[in-house]
Structure formats: structure tokens, C-alpha cells
Amino acid sequence: MSTFIGMRSEVSLVQWMSDGASDHPGPDAVRGFVVAAKAGDVAAFGYIVELHESRVFRTARAILGSDSDAEDAVQEVFVRAYRYLARFDESRELAPWLYRITANVCRDLAKNRRRHHGVSIESLHLASSQSGPFESLARQEQRELIREAIARLPYKEGAAITLRDLEGLTTREVAKALGTTEATVRSQISSARAKLRKYILRIERRTS
């Protein structure tokens, strides 16, 4: 009954089943998906999307600041990834390449978005309930405030801090994703952290 003869995604299937609840196949399985997708296997590409859409969404959501923009970004990232997949060297890791595409897509979307809703982090309005020591705020409220603030950073700073402090990439990996140097990335994340710190202090000062 269960004869798996001639299936394209055999590697991934075995991986999936042996992992139980895990939704992360190993690097070899991912490489298998890439090879299959390059050969035109759309189901294999579907796996690739499934495996990476969470982190692409998370990154785009942080940089762009809204679910709907992030959704648009995720779609565009994977459409571009598929289009350029033939150029991707499957001996390399897929995630850094996808981060790079994500950064490019977010940059394009951010241009449009900011043209329409350009409010800088410095002039971000704080509701009256958002006051007192930052750490005393409810966790959900902290998160909302920081999300809003990151999305109001200049694109490059927002992208750099998201990749570094939210996604946990090294400065070298961030530099690769953003197509820049490590020195530039350090300057961007330093500037972003300084702005976020001032923003948090501004929240705290509202009571005094």
C-alpha cells in the first residue's frame, strides 16, 4: 500500500516523517528541494516556500510594519526566488540568498509605502497610556511600540537592525543580505539602536 516508487520528494518525505512535529528538514533535504525545483518541480518549490515563508514574513513584517505589506513582500520574494533559482548555487545555503531578496523587495516596497505614510520615529505619536518605565509596560504593548518604531526607521537602518537583532544574523551576514560592507552595517545598527533607545526614553519620560 505504501510503496513510494518514483516520488520526487522522497528525501523530504522521509525527513518529515522521521522528524515528527518538526517542520525543518535538514540542509541536505533542502538542497534536494532546490535541485528538484531548478529542474522544474513546482511541488519542491512549494516546500521551499513552506520552509522559509515564516522567516521571510517575520523579516518583512518588521521592516515594513504591516501584515499586508509583509504578505505582499513574501509573495514577491518567492516569485523572484523562483525566477532566479537557476542562478542559485545549491551547494550554498538558501537562507542568506532569500534574506538578500527579502531586503531588496522590502526596499522597493518601503519606497512606495513611506512616500504615502512618512512619519519618522522621532515624531511618532505616543498614546497617553504609553508612559512609565518601558519594562513596566505590558509585554504586548512593548512589542507594539517597538514594531511601530522599527518600521519608522530609515529603510536601511530598519533592515539592518531587523536582520541583526531580530533574525540574529552576524554583521557579515547582514552586510551580504544588504549588499554593503560590515562597517556600514555597524554604523546602521548603531544609529538604529540609538534612535530606539531615545524613543524608549521618550516613552519613559512622559510620566515625569
Partner 1 sequence: MSCPRDSELALYAGGELKGRRRTWTDGHVRECQPCAKKVGEFHVVRSAVASSAVTIPAGLRAGIRVSVLDRIALDDGGPASRNPLLAGILWACAPLALLAGVAAVWDLLTSEPEMPPLRMAGIAAEVPEGALLLSRQLNTVPPESPGRADSLDEAFGALDSGELIFVEAGEGPGVLAQLRIQTADASIEIHWLID
- Pick 16 or 115: Cβ nearer partner 1: 16
- Residue 97: count of CB within 10 angstroms of its CB: 19
CB environment 39-48: b (16+ within 10 A), e (fewer): eebeebbebb
Q: Which stretch binds partner 1 (CB under 8 A): 25-33, 39-47, 90-98, 99-107?
A: 39-47
Q: Is 166 in the site for partner 1 (CB under 8 A)?
A: yes
Q: Which is nearer to partner 1, 156 or 164 (CB)?
A: 164
Asked if residue 165 binds partner 1 (CB under 8 A), the reply is yes
- Using the rule CB under 8 A, give the single segment among 25-33, 103-111, 115-123, 195-203 that binds partner 1: 195-203
In the list 63, 121, 162, 177, the residue contacting partner 1 (rule: CB under 8 A) is 162
Q: Mark 81-100 with x for binding to partner 1 (rule: CB under 8 A) and - for no binding.
A: -xx-xx--------------
Q: Rounded to whole angstroms, how far apart are CA atoms 109 and 106? A: 5
The count of residues in the chain is: 208
Q: How far is the CB of 118 from partner 1 (least distance, A)?
A: 21
CA atoms of 153 and 70, how far apart (whole Å): 16
* Residue among 39, 41, 40, 38 at smallest CA distance from 9: 41
> Quick one: which of 163, 65, 169 has its CA closest to 119?
65
Q: What type of residue is 120?
A: S
The set of residues, in sequence order, having a beta carbon less than 8 Å from that of 8 and lying 6+ positions away, is 36, 41, 43, 44
User: Interaction with partner 1 in 2-21: which residues (CB under 8 A)?
Assistant: 2-10, 13, 16-17, 20-21
Using the minimum distance from each CB to partner 1, give the nearer residue, 85 or 124. Answer: 85
Q: In the range 113-132, which residues lie near partner 1 by CB under 8 A?
A: none
Q: Are 46 and 9 in contact (CB under 8 A)?
A: no
Of 75 and 96, which has the nearer Cβ to partner 1?
Answer: 75
Comparing CB distances to partner 1, the nearer of 80 and 100 is: 80
Least distance in angstroms from the C-beta of 57 to partner 1: 4
The verdict on 39 binding partner 1 (CB under 8 A) reads yes
With beta carbons less than 8 A apart as the criterion, state whether 149 and 134 touch: no
Instruction: Please identify which residue in 50, 93, 108, 122 interacts with partner 1, judged by CB under 8 A.
Output: 50
| Cell numbers for 101 | 531578496
